[in-house]
Amino acid sequence: MDSRQQFDKYSPIYNLRSRGVFFVSTTDGKRGHFHFGCWTTQCSHEPPRMLTCFPKEFEGTDIVQKSGVFSLSMVAADQEEFHDHFFSGDQSIEVIGKEKFMYAETGCPILKDAVAYFDCKVHQTIDNGDFLIVIGDIVKGEALHPEKKTLNVEYIANERTTNYHKGPISLPIKGFDM
């Protein structure tokens, strides 16, 4: 089978992934939303596209449908503490810290210390029960820190010895003002 991967300029970034943890962001310029997801993969090489899922109970689902943009930051293994603090309630730019973000073409927040990122414009959405599957055309992508390992689901679930949670787990149902 010819996957046409040789035509996709983002293939070196795809190859950095394992079952990694992605920091998913969307904004319409007024409201923003973040969530962590492992339901993300490339789904086309020509044209280059990424697929991710938005839980319908999250405000981010409405925002991505309205704005038509999202970004995916490939979280680095050294961002484990950031991951846990996020689920403790640190879920806005103001609380996380403006200095931890950068912006590319879509205006969605991207983690500066991520292994890599994909900045996407929505190509298609699919209603899939309790999730909205969102397929995006990659408008910009970059390996920011290819020397870093990705934070992955297997490690978080089975191997880690440190827990940085500050309290009970808090899901990011609501977004925030930009």
Read off the pTM. 0.86
In a domain, 146, yes or no: yes
Eight-state DSSP code of residue 15 = T
Is position 12 within any domain?
A: yes
- pLDDT tens for 114-167 read 999 999 999 999 999 889 999 999 999 999 999 999 887 666 666 767 776 666
Say which amino acid occupies 26.
T
Say if residues 150 and 18 touch (Cβ distance below 8 Å). yes
Say if CB 50 and CB 138 are below 8 A apart.
yes
pLDDT, greater one: 169 or 42: 42
Structural domain boundaries enclosing 41: 5-163
Model confidence at 178, pLDDT cuts 50, 70, 90, reads very high
* Residue in 108, 19, 20, 106 with CA at minimum distance from that of residue 60: 108
Q: Indicate the number of domains in the chain.
A: 1
Q: What is the CATH number of the domain that holds 17?
A: 2.30.110.10
Q: Which residues have a Cβ under 8 Å from the Cβ of 92 and sit 6 or more positions away?
A: 32, 34, 176
Place of tokens 């319908």: 56
CB 112 within 8 A of CB 103: no
Task: Quote the CA–CA distance of 136 and 26 in Å, as a whole number.
Answer: 12
User: Residue 151 carries which DSSP code?
Assistant: P
Residue 17 lies in a domain: yes
Residue 174, domain member (yes or no)? no
